[in-house]
Structures are given as structure tokens and as C-alpha cells.
A and B are shown apart, each in its own frame.
Chain A
Amino acid sequence: DAKTTQPNSMESNEEEPVHLPCNHSTISGTDYIHWYRQLPSQGPEYVIHGLTSNVNNRMASLAIAEDRKSSTLILHRATLRDAAVYYCIRNRGKLIFGQGTELSVKP
């Protein structure tokens, strides 16, 4: 079971930081934590991944709890183009998508 738990929806204001939480309490030691997002009418887009340490890239930051049972995707300054469904996935070589968090961004 590759289940993760995310809030169904979140709201943000434009140009403010957004913290998207994910619970993966049954994660095993070799599972990567991946985040993808799906903009309307597009295929999913890879955002970031990590194993144990916090990670940063040009799109976002990923903060992983020390016990690895939860993680948080951080968008430092939300824009209207960040409105999407964000999926947190335990990656064991194949992606099992949950329902994700639908992020809306208000101007």
C-alpha cells in the first residue's frame, strides 16, 4: 500500500508562501518522496523529490520530517500559474497517485 494523505484543497494568496503537507506514516526506508503537480488540461509535471534531507530546486523546496513520516512542499511565492493539483507520492519504482491537494491562488 503506497498510501499518502493530503488535504483535499488549499487556498493561497498570490506572492505569499504556500506549505502543502503530506502524511506518509508507513513509508519504508528506501521509498523516495516525490511531488508532482497537474495544471488544468495538462499531464502531471515533476516538481521535486527527496529521500531524507531537505531539497531545493528552482520550482520549490521539500522539507522532510526527521522520521520521514511526513513532508511539506513549499512554494516560496505563489503565482496564479501555480494553481494546480499537487500529488505527494511514495515512489517505489512506480507512481501510485492519490487524490492530491487542489491549490487555488487568489490574486
Chain B
Amino acid sequence: SAVISQKPSRDICQRGTSLTIQCQVDSQVTMMFWYRQQPGQSLTLIATANQGSEATYESGFVIDKFPISRPNLTFSTLTVSNMSPEDSSIYLCSVETGHSYEQYFGPGTRLTVT
């Protein structure tokens, strides 16, 4: 397993601004993922972030809106750019460990855009 922390835990932001969310894991991992969970909904995968390469985005998500950094094997950031109220969600990071792809999730960042 892995212990994952996220910062901030929550924030309220003005529309048009950007917020960077940090994800820190207590061990080196190759695969990190970013998800969004809109109110009352299930999780949606935004992108996969591998160290040393560009993030791979899922359909409907673009780098200009959700730039991701992965500078080393224990850390990643997700930026939500030019925010609108529709970006109000919980953003979660996860890491993959083990040979059969099990993932462990951070506690999430609750973002409210006004």
C-alpha cells in the first residue's frame, strides 16, 4: 500500500483564476493518476502521470485546462486553469502499486469555484 497526501484539502476560488493541487506519496511509484468527482457522481479519470514523460489525458480533458507535472517518483501536481463554477469538484490523486494494478487514493481536494 501507500500513504498519499494532498494539498490543499479544500479551497474556494474565484472564476478565471487557477489552482494547483499537490499530491505527495510516501514511496516511489511509477504510475500516478488524477481523477475528478463531481457532486453526487462517480470518479472520472483525468490523466495518467508517469515520471519523465508527458501526462496522458483522457477524452474530454486537455493539457491547457489541466496541466500536470510529475517531477519525481513521489510527487505530482494538477493545475485547474481558468476556473469556472463547472470545475467545482473533488480532485483526487492515486498511485498504482503491485503487479496487478491496485491503486491507492489520496483524501481529495474539494474545490468550489464562485
Q: Which residues of A come within 8 Å of B, CB atoms?
A: 32, 34, 36, 42-46, 49, 51, 85, 87, 91, 93-100
Minimum distance in angstroms from B3 CB to a CB of chain A:
12
Minimum distance in angstroms from B100 CB to a CB of chain A:
5
Q: B27-54 vs A: 1/0 string, CB under 8 Å?
A: 0000001010000001111001000000
Residues of A within 8 A of B35 (CB): 97
CB within 8 Å of A: which B78-109 residues: 92, 94, 100-108
Residues of B within 8 A of A87 (CB): 42
19 CB < 8 A contacts A-B: A32-B101, A34-B101, A43-B92, A44-B43, A44-B92, A44-B103, A45-B105, A46-B1, A46-B102, A49-B100, A49-B102, A87-B42, A94-B45, A95-B33, A95-B43, A95-B103, A97-B42, A97-B45, A99-B42
Minimum distance in angstroms from A3 CB to a CB of chain B:
13
Minimum distance in angstroms from A92 CB to a CB of chain B:
8
With known contacts A43-B105, A44-B105, A97–B44 Cβ distance under 8 A: yes
Minimum distance in angstroms from A103 CB to a CB of chain B:
15
Residues of B within 8 A of A97 (CB): 35, 42-45
Q: Which residues of B come within 8 Å of A, CB atoms?
A: 1, 33, 35, 42-45, 48, 92, 94, 100-108
What's the count of A-B pairs with C-beta under 8 Å?
A: 49
The B interface is mostly helix, strand or loop, or mixed, namely strand
Look across to chain A and name the residue whose beta carbon is closest to the beta carbon of B108.
A43
The A interface is mostly helix, strand or loop, or mixed, namely loop
Interface contacts beyond A91-B101, A94-B45, A94-B48: sample of 7 additional A-B pairs, CB < 8 Å, sorted by A: A32-B100, A42-B108, A43-B92, A49-B100, A87-B42, A93-B101, A97-B42
Complexed CA–CA distance, A95 and B94 (Å): 10
Look across to chain B and name the residue whose beta carbon is closest to the beta carbon of A96.
B45
Residues of A within 8 A of B33 (CB): 94-95
Residues of B within 8 A of A42 (CB): 107-108
